[in-house]
Amino acid sequence: MRLFRLLLALTALLCTGAPASAQFFAGPPKAAPSLVADSEAVEPGRAFTVGIRFKLEEGWHLYWRFPGDSGAAPQVEWQLPPGFEAGPIQWPLPHLLRAEGDLFTNVYEEELLLPVEIRPPSVLPAAPFVLKAKLKWYVCKETCLPGGEEVSLEMAAGKATASNGELFSLWKSRLPEAGPAPFDSAWKRTPEGWQVTIKGTGITDKTELFAIPPTGLGAEHPELLSSKAGEITFKVRAPEASLSAKGWRGLVVLNAGDGTRKGWEVPETGGSSGAPTNEAPAGQEMPEGGLAGVLWAAFLGGLLLNLMPCVLPVIALKILGFTQQAGQEPKRVFRLGLSFCAGVFAFFLALAGAVIGLKAAGSGLNWGFQFQNPWILAGLISAVFVFGLNLIGVFEITLSGGTNAALSSLAGKQGHGGAFMHGAFTTLLGTSCTAPYLGVTLGFAMSQPAPLVIAIFLTIAAGMSLPYLVLTSNTTLLKFLPKPGLWMERLKQLMGFIMLAVAAWLLGVLGNARGLDAISGACAFLLVLGFCCWLLGILRNRAVALLLALLLAAGGFFLFLYAPLRTSPASVRAASAEGWEPFSPERLLAERAAGRPVFVDFTADWCVNCKVNERVALARPEVLAAFEKRGVVKLKADWTSDDPVVTAELKKFGRASVPFYLLYLPGTAEPQVLPSLLTPGIVLNALEALPVK
């Protein structure tokens, strides 16, 4: 296993160069955040409330969930102990602020507490419990300043006795009421927006209405149309795209004579909505078919993964190995097949563990992460390059036990360790081609509890392993394979060139992510690796050869590749000749508010299926002409490097992989999701719903 030790050493060398420092935007002192809890300790299975507290300097303000004409609401990303869950933010009643130019915003001043329910598990992990929250906000006065900070709160295990009672009592009294509203509300559609009539308030003092449009859409501040005893009517203007969407709500606030304020949320259908609700993120609910359907989809996706273009070249080597083994003892062939399958299972189990661990730390793991991290990508390029040179015959490695075998013995008489590593390596390369069959399943898995995550990943592994298990368990099937001969050596060499082609493709991915310096440095480093492989092939003293190869590889890495990998990601590429523009949530919202159709292409340079779809469908002249005739705005969400904005957008739809395609039609709240494998006909049929300009 010396070769594997060498590769592991190189991988460790590459990974040690990765900067580990987290990046946080240091917020301005105009808003000082902290966390407080309404309980002294954490009791198993008993929910408690944590408040995100902001203290604001005089004259500065933060924004409500729907900020109004400008601004943005505070955002939170939790990092909780294992098994802990956080509910949605509970938004206290806002105040209306009118600025110059008739700009209306919904704000909080002086101090703000945003309650969030925290649900601990029935069996607590080891104490103490550190609750962390990554916060982002905009604090404004005459100007607006973005802020961001990570705050934390440490709690012990014990009986849940009350804490900060006065503070939480005050702010909970400022939340919308949970019971039925003591008035009636009626919504009437108009050409410009809505007319909302409130009847029977029983309060003659000021009544306020705050519009809550569907998520991601906009509206102007409600205007008072008429007011008479027991009845008041507001007008809410909204763009057509927002107006046509479903899910409108309003916050009605009644101001009593003593200065107290009470509010109720009412839906557009009228009546009381009861307790305020927040929409659950897409992809959190069980897909149709239940758990059995999810596991079946995972198994089928793993099975079909063997047919993807990323996996087929490596599978050819495995079939070659089965051919070489056809004359061997059946039990040995079966044991080697089991070792290969064990490598597949180990890889998927490691991914499941990474997902669970990062979720517990408040982070996440997207599918294809190894192609987004430049350090891991550089290690993968190096490994594929070395494998390719070995298959061509540049060098061979003497394995333990005195058996001479080429690296192609990963598919032949290489022993159980090599079969295991080959199974893991095959799966590693296959992860960039999973979206057509596993995109929805993986997105669902990454939002579920640990046992279900493990079950789904192991089911995918079972599907991928099934053909090898069947083939090696019945040696009579091996007799149908071609007999060994010179063609096997030629096939092995051909696979070597295919592996080098894979390395060239990954070099392009690295170059697009880190720029020209990175691809130049990587090429120089691969030249050094090629020389190291040549030394391994000509030197008889294996220990000296390995030592020289390792020293030269380390020197080449630090000389040519270390600095380029430390640079910031390459800037967003300019719009292409076909009119594609960079994606951003703000741009999407603006185009939708203007009533224009939008097509969003979630793609990555390392995604083979993305590139196939672009050439076969999206770049076809008839498709581009249809986009142009119907005035479709084309946005490209590039996920080549780990982009948190694109990641968040994918998570909204329960996805953890690309390709992914959305078509937003004017007048609809939800986009149309196109298949992961496109044809010109699929895109053109989707565009038929749009009128020609």
* pLDDT tens per residue, range 26-84: 444 689 999 999 999 999 989 999 999 999 988 899 999 888 877 788 999 999 999 99
Which pLDDT value is given to residue 569?
Answer: 52
Helix (H) or strand (E) holding 261: strand 261-267
Q: Please state, as a whole number, how many other Cβ atoms lie within 10 Å of the Cβ of residue 229.
A: 6
Q: Can you give the pLDDT at residue 43?
A: 92
0.95 exceeded by pTM: no
Q: What b/e string do you get for 90-109 counting C-beta neighbours within 10 Å, with b at 16 or more?
A: bbbbbebbeeeeeebbbbbe
pLDDT value of residue 412? 39
> Can you name the residues that pair with 212 across neighbouring β-strands?
249
Helix (H) or strand (E) holding 25: none
Question: What phi, psi does 335 have (nearest 5°)?
Answer: -65, -40
Per-10-residue mean pLDDT of the chain, 693 residues long, equals: 42 39 45 93 93 92 86 89 91 86 82 94 90 90 80 92 91 88 85 84 74 78 83 82 71 82 80 41 44 74 65 54 58 76 82 68 49 70 77 60 38 57 63 50 61 81 80 68 63 73 76 71 85 83 83 86 66 52 87 89 78 85 90 88 77 77 86 87 89 79
Which residue ranges form the domains of the chain, and what is each CATH number? 31-172 (2.60.40.1250), 184-267 (2.60.40), 287-372+402-486 (no CATH), 581-687 (3.40.30.10)
Rounded distance between C-alpha atoms, residue 666 and residue 671, angstroms: 10
What's residue 393's pLDDT?
Answer: 76
Give the residue among 613, 82, 618, 593 at the shortest CA–CA distance from 356: 82
pLDDT of residue 558: 86
Confidence at residue 207, expressed as pLDDT on a 0 to 100 scale: 87
